[in-house]
Amino acid sequence: MTPLAGLLPDGIASALGLAPAFRGRQVFRWIHRGIESFAGMSDLPAALRSSLDSRADILTSRVDSRSESEDGSVKLRIRLHDGAAIEAMSLQDGRGRRTACLSTQAGCGMGCAFCRTGLMGLVRDLAAHEIVEELLHLRRETGDVGTIVFMGMGEPLLNPGPVAAAVGVFAHSDGPGMSLRRTTISTCGIVEGIRRLAEEGPAVRLAVSLVSAVPGTRAALMPVSRANPLPALREALGFYQERTRRRVTLEVVLIDGVTDRAEDAEALVEWAASLGVMVNLIPWNPVTEIAFRESPPQRVRWFKERLEAARVPVTERLRKGRGVNGACGQLAVIEG
Ligand code: SF4
């Protein structure tokens, strides 16, 4: 069976040997309108509809469970064809606008000390159709989304082909039509991947989990920094901004006494100011398996004011999805 969700119209036509080729566009449009059976594709000839049933899959995954938090955020646990499980979130802001937070791998091999997904280890990369299917499930469950962030389970820049293919599908005007400016790839700091993204695209926004600009602190929290040290990361981000003319966002997870100290703030000011980037402060979300504490609100305020005083553009991400363990760093499928 050919999985179709990760293909563009031409790809569908050629994978299924459809003639005339516009049949590929028809199938593509139906898939992204949320039709989940070929029988519902009413502008296809009946004989083609029934032959597609035995040759292709619109969805290869299914929703195992759905949980909703008080703030309207929804977390889906999605079961893949081989039994692996991932999670995807639809986060809702105060005006009801939704952001899809998508996984790019089942589990994650990067081992960040503050992240629940890191406890799982890497199970496997997702295929393009599995990433696209996350959005199809989320749209069916929660309605349309206005932005997409690759910030769920996994490191997107270590699965670049399927991520780029999914971005292409999301951006297609006959599909979700998602602007690249409303699509963000979030990385833990893979230098080679950042350079490749700058050179080859896709031209999405880039966010980097910096967490701390103090080398020893970052190294202790993020094993990725051994092979991708801060000076190399800074150089890659400078290259990215120069090449793409797009401003990078640094994500800083604030952990009580670990990343919210005065020395973290000073190092971050120096780092952010020299690169001309945005900073997004993310209060750490408690998870039972990890013995950190979240920064107290007054410390978050102090940290933010320190950056503002240095004229570093800074935002604070609101706590979303907490009630369902769906906030940043909380996604994980830990099965007994
Ligand atoms: S923060 Fe991101 S890169 Fe680090 S372990 Fe978690 S999912 Fe992986």
pLDDT, tens digit (0-9, with 9 covering 90-100), for 189-217: 999 999 999 999 999 999 999 999 999 99
* Paired tokens of 295: 């920064």
Ligand 1 atom with the smallest distance to the CA of 115 is: 6
Residue 120 contacts residue 332 (beta carbons within 8 Å):
yes
Distance, CA 65 to ligand 1 centroid (Å)?
23
Residue with CA at minimum distance from ligand 1 atom 5? 118
Instruction: Specify the 3-state DSSP secondary structure of 251.
Output: strand
State whether residue 268 is helix, strand or coil. Answer: helix
CB 35 within 8 A of CB 42: no
pTM over 0.85: yes
- Residue 159: per-residue pLDDT: 98
Domains of the chain: 2-57 (1.10.150), 62-324 (3.20.20.70)
For a ligand 1 pocket test, name from 188, 212, 253, 259 the mutation site with the most ligand atoms within 8 angstroms of its C-beta. Answer: 188
In the structure, which protein residues have their CB atom closer than 6 angstroms to any atom of ligand 1?
108, 110-112, 115, 117-118, 153-155, 188, 209, 329
Mutating to test ligand 1, I would choose from 102, 103, 105, 117 the residue with most ligand atoms within 8 A of its C-beta, which is 117
Q: Which ligand 1 atom is the nearest neighbour of the CA of 209?
A: 1
The atom of ligand 1 lying closest to the CA of 108 is 8
As a whole number, mean pLDDT of residues 10-21 equals: 93
Structure tokens given for 251: 């994500």
Q: How confident is the model at residue 336 (pLDDT cuts 50, 70, 90)?
A: very low
Q: Which residues are catalytically annotated?
A: 87, 328
Q: What are phi and psi of 134, to 5 degrees?
A: -55, -45
What is the CB neighbour count within 10 angstroms for residue 294?
17
Using CA atoms, how far apart are residues 130 and 137, in angstroms rounded to an integer? 10
Task: Give the Å distances, CA to CA, from 226 to 160, 206, 222, 249, 295.
Answer: 21, 21, 8, 22, 26
Up-side HSE of residue 232: CA atoms within 13 Å toward CB?
A: 13
**Which of 112, 208, 226 has most ligand 1 atoms within 8 Å of its beta carbon, as the pocket-test mutant?**
112
User: How does pLDDT run across 142-194, given as a tens digit for each residue?
Assistant: 999 999 999 999 999 999 999 999 999 999 999 999 999 999 999 999 999 99
Q: How does pLDDT run across 282-320, given as a tens digit for each residue?
A: 988 888 889 999 999 999 999 999 999 999 999 987 666
How far, in Å, is the centroid of ligand 1 from the Cα of 202? 21
Burial of 108 (0-12, 13-18, 19+ CB in 10 A): buried
pLDDT surpasses 60 at 327 = no
Q: Give SS3 for 321.
A: coil
